[in-house]
Amino acid sequence: MVKKATSNRKYTPEFKADVLRLVSNGESILAVAKKMGISASIIHAWRAAEKKTKGVKNQHSLWKKKSNRSVGNFAKRS
């Protein structure tokens, strides 16, 4: 049985940011993957993680705004 070679290569945060910046500026994921010598699936995973992280931050800030509004409204009623 032949095992598929797996790579546990680590990428710096700067490298990831550069890759994601290129994609967000309109370059295709496939073109960026070829240019940077990485798999397109890695870029997809990084984008998904970035969206998830940004979503959590946005939800937290929305929750904070809503909770502040609720406290303010409660204070006005008393």
d(CA 25, CA 35): 15
Decide: helix, strand or coil at residue 60: helix
d(CA 46, CA 17): 9
pTM: 0.62
Each residue's pLDDT tens digit, 16-46: 999 999 999 999 999 999 999 999 999 999 9
Residue ranges covered by each domain of the chain: 13-77
* Buried-state track 15-38, b at ≥16 Cβ within 10 A, e below 16: ebeebbebbeeeeebeebbeeeeb
Instruction: Answer whether 47's CB lies under 8 Å from 20's CB.
Output: yes
* The predicted structure's pLDDT at residue 71: 52
CATH architecture of the region 13-77: Orthogonal Bundle (1.10)
d(CA 52, CA 74): 32
The percent of residues in the chain predicted with pLDDT above 70, rounded, is: 62
Does the structure show a pLDDT above 80 at 65?
Answer: no
* The predicted structure's pLDDT at residue 46: 96
